[in-house]
Amino acid sequence: MNRRLRWTSAVLFLPTALAVLAATPRGEEGQIGIRGFAPGRVAQERELEREFARIPDAKHAENHLRRLTSEPHMAGTAGSRRVAEWLRDRFRSYGFDSKIVTYRVWLPLPVELKLELLEPEKETLATAEQPFQSDKDTYTMRAVPGFNAYSPSGDVTAPVVYANYGMAEDYRQLEELDINVEGKIVLARYGRGYRGIKAKLAEDHQAAGLLIYSDPADDGYAAGDPYPRGPWRPMSGIQRGSILYTQIYPGNPLTAAASAAGDEHKISPSEAKSLPRIPTLPINAQDAAAILMRLGGEQVPRGWQGSLPLAYHLGPGQALVHLKLVMDYRQRTLYDVISKLHGANDDEWVILGNHHDAWVFGAADPSSGTTVMLETARSLGRLARAGWKPRRTIVMCEWDGEEPGLLGSTEWVQDHLRELQAKAVAYINTDVGVSGPDFKSSAVPSLKGLVREVAQEVPDARSARTVYDLWRERLERGQPPRGNAERGQPWALADGDVPLGALGAGSDFCPFLDHAGIPAIDLGSSGNYGVYHSLYDDFYWMKHFGDPTFAYHVEMARIVGTLTLRLTEADVLPFDYTAYASEISRAAAELATKAKDSHDSALVNKPDWKALDSVSAALAASAARVAQALDAAAAAPAGSGRANELDRGLAGVEQALLAPEGLVGRPWYKHTIYAPGSYAGYDAVVMPGIAEAIELHDAETAQREVASLTAALERAAARLDEVARLAKPVASSPRAQ
């Protein structure tokens, strides 16, 4: 790499192309600018990005994935430790300062899983996933059988009731049909919500147990050819997964909002509100069919029929099922891999994260994301060896225990909370990095523009067009994202541009945004992915269906790397708070209208809606003042201390949106704008405290949450005003005129 790309800390420049300005400002001599960069540094940054883009390589990516999927590596097992040690050594070979950080957490593994049909005739169920000759890995004896992490042990015999997807609206419909699930075993299909929500609802309705199966209508032969002929779930495929009540709090259930590093805050399992209380087991479609064909009662309502070749009935009927689970709960060790490429300013961190633990082989989930991280790290390391030194420190994290409940990331964030809130400027997350060709992303509003701009500059893996072009074209055609593990991704164009989803839960960005207030991005490339959390998510599946040439792994490494370089090298961090303020104002107005439309006088009169509307307008005005002040300061030299103050002010706006007391009923979630819904699964609820209080017609909670949000917006506006104040002296200095 050309040595003139090396950055020096002697002089910093404030940008013309900040987040508050147009996406493609003009720099010197008509050069298209870059958000957050001074005109004089745009050419330098573009050359750095071109050098980076040449390095990610499909063969390297394929070799990474082959090694990562060479054995099952579930959290709490020796396989996960071996993967962590290999990752640490890889990052060190790329020039990173890398270490393993361990945590002891309360984590179960299955000892006995028994399911049998007793009446009208006996049949042994809980059948294993079928091996296929074409895929030797499916014959492994080391795969954990299909189970739901954090299910309690239990031994129940009861009739069965079919509850469609087992979501709140399904139970309401059962009640309307005068069907009571109390004391019954509920059979529900996967989809339309996090499995932990299904378990909580079954528990709330006093079911004796829960069986969750994958219906072919959702990710099997109704979607296309099943594995190994195609990418979709075969009849024997089982979706493993956690049912920990992460909607209450994620992480080690015995430490709540404290770190697992110490014992002083530990609670007993009986006190842990995130632990389910009824036995729950995932089963495959062929076992579900054996139960469904024996159910009596009425035929299911319209929309409840799946794709199994039989008429679905609600039950209970004659089917009597025996469910026995024996779980081994104990303290087990997690292995987080934390790697740093130290920058000139070690007080500002750009953090990247992905988890390395998998239910079995985990080719797509998560090892495709781990592969993307490795290629990004290898490429950044090569730039560093050629003489480049990042302006800000880059921290790359490989989390353990994500699958059981965001364990490794949550414990690390809680363990380093103060340091992260002082130093972290953004968190970039990838999980299922690649399962096909369709780029998707979610982000806080202040970083959505940055993601779009990077997508506009990275070429698509198999065409001369950009990632953004195909992303937009797909949405213009009205095509929803493919795959079965989408988290909050919108399906249509919004305001004339590609929309990015809101961040809810389901991956490791959750503790960073929802608890620590660190601005976050989540991204990946999706496709026809029907083997989620099954034995079949292995190297053979990726090589034949997900990304046979590994071109999209390379594309994702270029996107992640370019985002990292933009955040690492920017003169002032490229946040767009005018966009954020606009989304907040719109959401606040919609909730006020929703309260009015409820015709509940208490909801209309108790909360101070006028104060919320006023402070939303004040936030928008403060964001505009920041835009004006930073624009006026364009290209004016400033000392590094001033730039650091501006960066901390801009990054700290997200923290101002946290409520110290958290949301009512679940205080771990402190973000007033975004959180996963209490009964909505992975999807984010905007202004969740207020929105859910309106749904419940709870005027007291609505009043409290409106006041909490109003106070948070006041803090955010004050933080933006401070940023504007810091920028003004630069703009008015003699050197700036």
Which residues are annotated as catalytic?
Answer: 402
Give CA–CA dist 666/662, Å, rounded. Answer: 7
Give CA–CA dist 219/131, Å, rounded. Answer: 19
Of 511, 532, 440, 521, the C-alpha closest to 481 is 440
Give CA–CA dist 719/657, Å, rounded. Answer: 10
Beta-strand ranges (E) seen in 193-279 are 209-213, 241-242
Q: Assess contact for 592 and 691: CB atoms under 8 A.
A: no
Give the HSE-up count for residue 306: Cα atoms under 13 Å, Cβ half-sphere: 28
State which amino acid sits at residue 706: V
SS3 at position 563: helix
Q: Is the bond leading into 445 cis (omega within 30 degrees of zero)?
A: no
Classify the C-alpha dihedral 513-530-130-287 as positive or negative: positive
Q: Is the bond leading into 131 cis (omega within 30 degrees of zero)?
A: no
Tokens 């620590």 locate to 516
Give CA–CA dist 558/284, Å, rounded. Answer: 38
- Residue 263: how many other CB atoms lie within 10 Å: 10
Alpha-carbon separation of residue 533 from 129, 305, 360, 404, 624 (angstroms): 12, 24, 7, 12, 46
State which amino acid sits at residue 83: V
Of 546, 551, 555, the C-alpha closest to 483 is 546
DSSP category for residue 680: T
- In the numeric block, which tokens belong to residue 412? 């690390």
Give CA–CA dist 423/417, Å, rounded. Answer: 10
Q: Assess contact for 721 and 622: CB atoms under 8 A.
A: yes
Beta-strand ranges (E) seen in 120-165 are 123-124, 148-149, 154-162
DSSP category for residue 466: B
DSSP 332-372: EEEEEEEEEE--SEEEEEEEEEEE---SSS-IIIIIHHHHH
Give CA–CA dist 312/292, Å, rounded. Answer: 6
Give CA–CA dist 125/120, Å, rounded. Answer: 14
Rg (C-alpha) for the chain, rounded Å, is 26
Give CA–CA dist 251/514, Å, rounded. Answer: 13
- In the numeric block, which tokens belong to residue 432? 């299922």
